[in-house]
Structure 1
Amino acid sequence: MSLGIEDRLRELNITLPQASEPAAKYANYVIVNGLMFISGKGPAGNPKGKLGIDYSTQEGYEFARQTGIEVLAVLQSALGSLDKVVRAVKVQGFVNASADFEEHHKVLNGFSDLIMEVFGDKGLHARSVLGAVSVRDNLPIIVDSIFQVERDIVE
Protein backbone atom coordinates (compact mmCIF):
# COMPACT_ATOMS: atom_id res chain seq x y z
CA MET A 1 0.00 0.00 0.00
CA SER A 2 1.44 3.37 -0.98
CA LEU A 3 1.59 6.25 1.45
CA GLY A 4 -0.54 9.34 0.98
CA ILE A 5 1.05 12.70 0.37
CA GLU A 6 0.36 13.87 3.94
CA ASP A 7 2.26 10.78 5.17
CA ARG A 8 5.07 11.69 2.81
CA LEU A 9 5.18 15.22 4.28
CA ARG A 10 5.54 13.74 7.77
CA GLU A 11 8.40 11.52 6.53
CA LEU A 12 10.09 14.62 5.13
CA ASN A 13 9.44 16.48 8.40
CA ILE A 14 7.48 19.20 6.58
CA THR A 15 4.65 21.03 8.32
CA LEU A 16 2.61 23.19 6.00
CA PRO A 17 1.74 26.71 7.14
CA GLN A 18 -1.65 28.27 6.60
CA ALA A 19 -2.01 29.24 2.94
CA SER A 20 -0.90 32.79 2.24
CA GLU A 21 -3.39 35.24 0.82
CA PRO A 22 -2.97 37.25 -2.39
CA ALA A 23 -1.02 40.50 -2.03
CA ALA A 24 -3.50 42.47 -4.19
CA LYS A 25 -6.79 42.04 -6.08
CA TYR A 26 -6.39 38.63 -7.72
CA ALA A 27 -7.26 35.03 -6.94
CA ASN A 28 -4.87 32.81 -5.00
CA TYR A 29 -5.60 30.13 -7.59
CA VAL A 30 -7.95 29.34 -10.45
CA ILE A 31 -9.02 25.87 -11.57
CA VAL A 32 -9.95 25.38 -15.24
CA ASN A 33 -10.48 22.02 -16.94
CA GLY A 34 -8.63 20.11 -14.22
CA LEU A 35 -5.66 22.49 -14.14
CA MET A 36 -4.97 24.55 -11.04
CA PHE A 37 -3.08 27.77 -11.74
CA ILE A 38 -1.46 29.11 -8.56
CA SER A 39 -0.62 32.81 -8.43
CA GLY A 40 2.97 33.84 -7.82
CA LYS A 41 4.27 32.92 -4.38
CA GLY A 42 7.44 33.87 -2.57
CA PRO A 43 9.31 32.53 0.45
CA ALA A 44 7.99 32.71 4.01
CA GLY A 45 9.00 35.69 6.10
CA ASN A 46 9.18 38.01 3.08
CA PRO A 47 12.98 38.25 2.82
CA LYS A 48 14.17 41.13 0.68
CA GLY A 49 17.08 41.33 -1.72
CA LYS A 50 18.81 40.10 -4.85
CA LEU A 51 20.63 36.90 -5.65
CA GLY A 52 24.24 37.67 -6.49
CA ILE A 53 24.25 40.74 -4.23
CA ASP A 54 22.42 40.03 -0.99
CA TYR A 55 22.11 36.25 -1.21
CA SER A 56 24.10 33.28 -2.48
CA THR A 57 22.84 30.63 -4.85
CA GLN A 58 22.43 28.22 -1.90
CA GLU A 59 20.36 30.77 0.02
CA GLY A 60 18.27 31.25 -3.13
CA TYR A 61 17.78 27.48 -3.32
CA GLU A 62 16.40 27.54 0.24
CA PHE A 63 14.12 30.47 -0.61
CA ALA A 64 12.80 28.52 -3.61
CA ARG A 65 12.18 25.49 -1.38
CA GLN A 66 10.29 27.70 1.11
CA THR A 67 8.26 29.02 -1.81
CA GLY A 68 7.38 25.43 -2.71
CA ILE A 69 6.07 24.92 0.81
CA GLU A 70 3.88 28.01 0.35
CA VAL A 71 2.52 26.51 -2.89
CA LEU A 72 1.83 23.17 -1.16
CA ALA A 73 -0.09 25.06 1.53
CA VAL A 74 -2.29 26.69 -1.14
CA LEU A 75 -2.88 23.31 -2.79
CA GLN A 76 -3.83 21.71 0.54
CA SER A 77 -6.12 24.58 1.50
CA ALA A 78 -7.89 24.60 -1.86
CA LEU A 79 -8.17 20.83 -2.38
CA GLY A 80 -8.50 19.57 1.19
CA SER A 81 -5.86 16.93 0.45
CA LEU A 82 -2.67 16.88 -1.56
CA ASP A 83 -3.68 13.39 -2.73
CA LYS A 84 -6.04 15.17 -5.17
CA VAL A 85 -3.03 16.44 -7.12
CA VAL A 86 -2.71 14.32 -10.26
CA ARG A 87 0.65 15.80 -11.25
CA ALA A 88 2.77 18.93 -11.35
CA VAL A 89 2.59 20.44 -14.84
CA LYS A 90 4.57 23.68 -15.13
CA VAL A 91 6.72 25.88 -12.90
CA GLN A 92 7.96 29.35 -13.78
CA GLY A 93 10.43 31.11 -11.50
CA PHE A 94 11.32 34.78 -11.43
CA VAL A 95 14.67 35.27 -9.67
CA ASN A 96 15.39 38.78 -8.43
CA ALA A 97 19.07 38.88 -9.34
CA SER A 98 22.01 41.06 -10.19
CA ALA A 99 22.75 41.58 -13.88
CA ASP A 100 25.74 39.21 -13.77
CA PHE A 101 24.01 36.39 -11.82
CA GLU A 102 23.96 33.18 -13.91
CA GLU A 103 22.65 30.46 -11.59
CA HIS A 104 18.90 31.04 -11.81
CA HIS A 105 18.35 27.38 -12.66
CA LYS A 106 20.19 26.27 -9.52
CA VAL A 107 18.02 28.54 -7.40
CA LEU A 108 14.76 27.18 -8.86
CA ASN A 109 16.02 23.63 -8.21
CA GLY A 110 15.01 24.25 -4.58
CA PHE A 111 11.37 24.37 -5.68
CA SER A 112 11.64 21.52 -8.18
CA ASP A 113 13.49 19.23 -5.76
CA LEU A 114 10.81 19.75 -3.11
CA ILE A 115 7.96 18.99 -5.53
CA MET A 116 9.72 15.80 -6.66
CA GLU A 117 10.38 14.74 -3.04
CA VAL A 118 6.72 15.22 -2.13
CA PHE A 119 4.98 13.88 -5.24
CA GLY A 120 7.57 11.46 -6.63
CA ASP A 121 7.17 10.85 -10.38
CA LYS A 122 3.96 12.94 -10.35
CA GLY A 123 6.12 15.91 -9.40
CA LEU A 124 8.15 15.94 -12.62
CA HIS A 125 7.23 19.15 -14.41
CA ALA A 126 8.12 21.46 -17.26
CA ARG A 127 9.69 24.71 -16.11
CA SER A 128 11.31 27.97 -17.03
CA VAL A 129 13.26 30.45 -14.97
CA LEU A 130 13.96 34.09 -15.64
CA GLY A 131 16.15 36.69 -14.05
CA ALA A 132 14.28 39.84 -13.05
CA VAL A 133 15.61 43.31 -12.44
CA SER A 134 12.91 43.66 -9.75
CA VAL A 135 9.94 41.76 -8.34
CA ARG A 136 7.14 42.70 -5.96
CA ASP A 137 8.25 43.58 -2.44
CA ASN A 138 11.89 43.00 -3.49
CA LEU A 139 11.50 39.27 -2.79
CA PRO A 140 14.43 37.11 -3.93
CA ILE A 141 12.16 34.76 -5.91
CA ILE A 142 8.55 34.41 -7.04
CA VAL A 143 7.18 31.19 -8.51
CA ASP A 144 4.03 30.62 -10.59
CA SER A 145 2.89 27.02 -10.89
CA ILE A 146 0.31 24.82 -12.58
CA PHE A 147 -0.92 21.46 -11.26
CA GLN A 148 -3.35 18.94 -12.70
CA VAL A 149 -5.96 18.08 -10.08
CA GLU A 150 -8.74 15.52 -9.88
CA ARG A 151 -11.63 16.48 -12.13
CA ASP A 152 -14.25 16.29 -9.37
CA ILE A 153 -12.84 19.47 -7.82
CA VAL A 154 -15.31 22.35 -8.10
CA GLU A 155 -14.03 24.79 -10.70
Structure 2
Amino acid sequence: MNQTPEQRLAALGISLPELTAPRGSFVTYVRSGKTIYLSGKGAPLRPAGVPVPKVGAEVSVADARQCAREVAIYLLAAMKEALGGFENLRQLVKVFGMVNATPDFTEHTEVINGASDLFVDVLGAEKGSHARSAVGVGSLPKGFAVEIEAIVEQV
Protein backbone atom coordinates (compact mmCIF):
# COMPACT_ATOMS: atom_id res chain seq x y z
CA MET A 1 0.00 0.00 0.00
CA ASN A 2 1.30 3.46 -0.91
CA GLN A 3 1.70 5.80 2.03
CA THR A 4 0.94 9.50 1.84
CA PRO A 5 3.68 12.03 2.64
CA GLU A 6 1.88 12.74 5.93
CA GLN A 7 2.00 9.03 6.83
CA ARG A 8 5.69 8.87 5.91
CA LEU A 9 6.40 11.93 8.08
CA ALA A 10 4.56 10.32 11.00
CA ALA A 11 6.48 7.06 10.52
CA LEU A 12 9.73 9.06 10.64
CA GLY A 13 8.56 10.88 13.80
CA ILE A 14 8.59 14.26 12.06
CA SER A 15 6.11 17.05 12.70
CA LEU A 16 6.19 19.91 10.24
CA PRO A 17 6.90 23.28 11.86
CA GLU A 18 4.80 26.39 11.58
CA LEU A 19 6.19 28.71 8.96
CA THR A 20 7.90 31.83 10.24
CA ALA A 21 7.73 35.20 8.54
CA PRO A 22 10.80 35.94 6.41
CA ARG A 23 13.31 38.35 7.93
CA GLY A 24 13.63 40.68 5.00
CA SER A 25 11.99 42.02 1.88
CA PHE A 26 10.93 38.70 0.38
CA VAL A 27 8.26 36.02 0.74
CA THR A 28 8.44 32.33 1.66
CA TYR A 29 7.37 31.23 -1.81
CA VAL A 30 6.24 32.59 -5.16
CA ARG A 31 3.94 30.88 -7.64
CA SER A 32 4.37 31.36 -11.40
CA GLY A 33 1.79 29.26 -13.20
CA LYS A 34 2.18 25.72 -11.87
CA THR A 35 5.76 26.32 -10.69
CA ILE A 36 6.40 27.31 -7.09
CA TYR A 37 9.74 28.75 -6.00
CA LEU A 38 10.56 28.21 -2.32
CA SER A 39 12.88 30.82 -0.83
CA GLY A 40 16.15 29.70 0.67
CA LYS A 41 16.08 28.60 4.31
CA GLY A 42 19.18 28.22 6.46
CA ALA A 43 20.22 26.38 9.60
CA PRO A 44 21.25 26.56 12.32
CA LEU A 45 20.64 30.04 13.66
CA ARG A 46 23.58 31.44 15.63
CA PRO A 47 23.23 33.97 18.42
CA ALA A 48 24.74 37.39 17.74
CA GLY A 49 28.42 37.52 18.59
CA VAL A 50 28.98 33.76 18.34
CA PRO A 51 31.81 32.97 15.91
CA VAL A 52 30.66 31.43 12.64
CA PRO A 53 31.98 27.88 12.31
CA LYS A 54 32.83 26.44 8.91
CA VAL A 55 31.87 23.03 7.55
CA GLY A 56 35.14 21.19 7.10
CA ALA A 57 36.69 22.81 10.20
CA GLU A 58 34.50 23.28 13.29
CA VAL A 59 31.40 21.64 11.79
CA SER A 60 31.50 17.97 10.76
CA VAL A 61 29.91 16.59 7.61
CA ALA A 62 27.44 14.65 9.81
CA ASP A 63 26.37 17.79 11.70
CA ALA A 64 26.02 19.80 8.50
CA ARG A 65 24.02 16.96 6.94
CA GLN A 66 21.66 17.14 9.93
CA CYS A 67 21.32 20.90 9.35
CA ALA A 68 20.36 20.17 5.73
CA ARG A 69 17.74 17.69 6.97
CA GLU A 70 16.31 20.33 9.33
CA VAL A 71 16.06 22.79 6.44
CA ALA A 72 14.29 20.13 4.34
CA ILE A 73 11.68 19.71 7.08
CA TYR A 74 10.97 23.44 6.98
CA LEU A 75 10.87 23.43 3.16
CA LEU A 76 8.37 20.54 3.27
CA ALA A 77 6.14 22.72 5.47
CA ALA A 78 6.47 25.62 3.01
CA MET A 79 5.81 23.27 0.10
CA LYS A 80 2.67 21.86 1.74
CA GLU A 81 1.32 25.35 2.41
CA ALA A 82 2.15 26.64 -1.06
CA LEU A 83 0.54 23.62 -2.73
CA GLY A 84 -2.48 23.50 -0.44
CA GLY A 85 -1.48 19.93 0.45
CA PHE A 86 1.00 17.33 -0.76
CA GLU A 87 -1.69 15.73 -2.94
CA ASN A 88 -1.23 18.73 -5.26
CA LEU A 89 2.48 18.03 -5.85
CA ARG A 90 3.39 16.88 -9.33
CA GLN A 91 7.16 16.94 -8.80
CA LEU A 92 9.96 18.34 -6.70
CA VAL A 93 11.89 19.79 -9.64
CA LYS A 94 15.11 21.32 -8.34
CA VAL A 95 17.04 21.72 -5.08
CA PHE A 96 19.87 24.23 -4.70
CA GLY A 97 22.04 23.75 -1.61
CA MET A 98 24.80 26.01 -0.31
CA VAL A 99 27.35 24.94 2.29
CA ASN A 100 29.30 27.47 4.37
CA ALA A 101 32.60 25.63 4.01
CA THR A 102 36.34 25.97 4.21
CA PRO A 103 38.05 26.55 0.84
CA ASP A 104 39.43 23.00 0.73
CA PHE A 105 36.13 21.26 1.63
CA THR A 106 34.87 18.87 -1.08
CA GLU A 107 31.96 16.96 0.49
CA HIS A 108 29.16 19.39 -0.37
CA THR A 109 27.05 16.66 -1.97
CA GLU A 110 27.20 14.53 1.19
CA VAL A 111 25.96 17.50 3.23
CA ILE A 112 23.03 18.35 0.94
CA ASN A 113 22.12 14.66 0.75
CA GLY A 114 20.63 15.26 4.21
CA ALA A 115 17.87 17.23 2.49
CA SER A 116 17.64 15.21 -0.73
CA ASP A 117 17.32 11.90 1.08
CA LEU A 118 14.53 13.23 3.30
CA PHE A 119 12.63 14.66 0.31
CA VAL A 120 12.68 11.22 -1.37
CA ASP A 121 11.78 9.45 1.90
CA VAL A 122 8.76 11.71 2.46
CA LEU A 123 7.55 12.40 -1.09
CA GLY A 124 8.49 9.04 -2.62
CA ALA A 125 10.98 8.37 -5.39
CA GLU A 126 8.60 9.37 -8.19
CA LYS A 127 7.72 12.85 -6.88
CA GLY A 128 10.68 13.46 -4.58
CA SER A 129 13.57 12.78 -6.97
CA HIS A 130 14.96 16.05 -8.25
CA ALA A 131 17.71 17.87 -10.10
CA ARG A 132 20.19 19.44 -7.69
CA SER A 133 23.18 21.68 -7.19
CA ALA A 134 25.38 21.59 -4.08
CA VAL A 135 27.98 24.32 -3.80
CA GLY A 136 30.39 25.71 -1.26
CA VAL A 137 30.29 29.37 -0.28
CA GLY A 138 32.51 31.60 1.82
CA SER A 139 29.68 32.76 4.07
CA LEU A 140 25.93 32.54 4.56
CA PRO A 141 23.47 34.87 6.32
CA LYS A 142 23.30 34.62 10.11
CA GLY A 143 26.24 32.20 10.09
CA PHE A 144 24.18 29.33 8.69
CA ALA A 145 26.05 26.11 7.98
CA VAL A 146 23.70 25.42 5.06
CA GLU A 147 21.02 27.19 3.07
CA ILE A 148 18.69 25.40 0.66
CA GLU A 149 16.02 26.52 -1.79
CA ALA A 150 13.70 24.43 -3.96
CA ILE A 151 11.42 24.54 -6.98
CA VAL A 152 8.25 22.42 -7.14
CA GLU A 153 5.56 21.86 -9.74
CA GLN A 154 1.88 21.72 -8.86
CA VAL A 155 -0.58 19.38 -10.60
With normalisation by structure 2, the TM-score equals 0.90
8 Å CA contact 1:94, 1:142 repeated in 2: yes
Residue in structure 1 matched with residue 128 of structure 2 by the alignment: 123
| Equivalent residues in 2 for 1:37-48, closer than 5 Å | 37-43=37-43, 45-47=44-46
Aligned length: 149
Q: Which runs of 5+ in 1 are unaligned?
A: 151-155
Structure 1 residue aligned with 2:76, among 66, 72, 75?
A: 72
Q: 1:68 Cα shift?
A: 0.1
8 Å CA contact 1:57, 1:106 repeated in 2: yes
- Give runs of ≥4 in structure 1 deviating > 4 Å: none
Question: Matches of 1:117 and 1:20 in 2, distance apart?
Answer: 24
Q: CA RMSD in A?
A: 1.4
Q: Which amino acid aligns with 2:36?
A: M
Q: Which amino acid aligns with 1:99?
A: P
With normalisation by structure 1, the TM-score equals 0.90
Structure 2 residue aligned with 1:149, among 127, 140, 154?
A: 154
Residue in structure 2 matched with residue 114 of structure 1 by the alignment: 118
Q: 1:90 Cα shift?
A: 0.3
Structure 1 residue aligned with 2:109, among 100, 105, 110?
A: 105
Determine what percentage of the aligned residue pairs are the same residue.
36
Q: 1:50 Cα shift?
A: 1.6
| Equivalent residues in 2 for 1:2-151, closer than 5 Å | 2-43=2-43, 45-47=44-46, 49-121=53-125, 122-150=127-155
Q: Which shows bigger deviation, 48-57 or 93-102? A: 48-57
8 Å CA contact 1:90, 1:126 repeated in 2: yes
Q: Which shows bigger deviation, 96-105 or 45-54? A: 45-54
Question: Matches of 2:103 and 2:112 in 1, distance apart?
Answer: 17
Q: Which amino acid aligns with 1:30?
A: V
Q: Which shows bigger deviation, 77-86 or 65-74? A: 77-86
Q: Which runs of 5+ in 2 are unaligned?
A: 47-51
Question: Matches of 2:2 and 2:57 in 1, distance apart?
Answer: 44
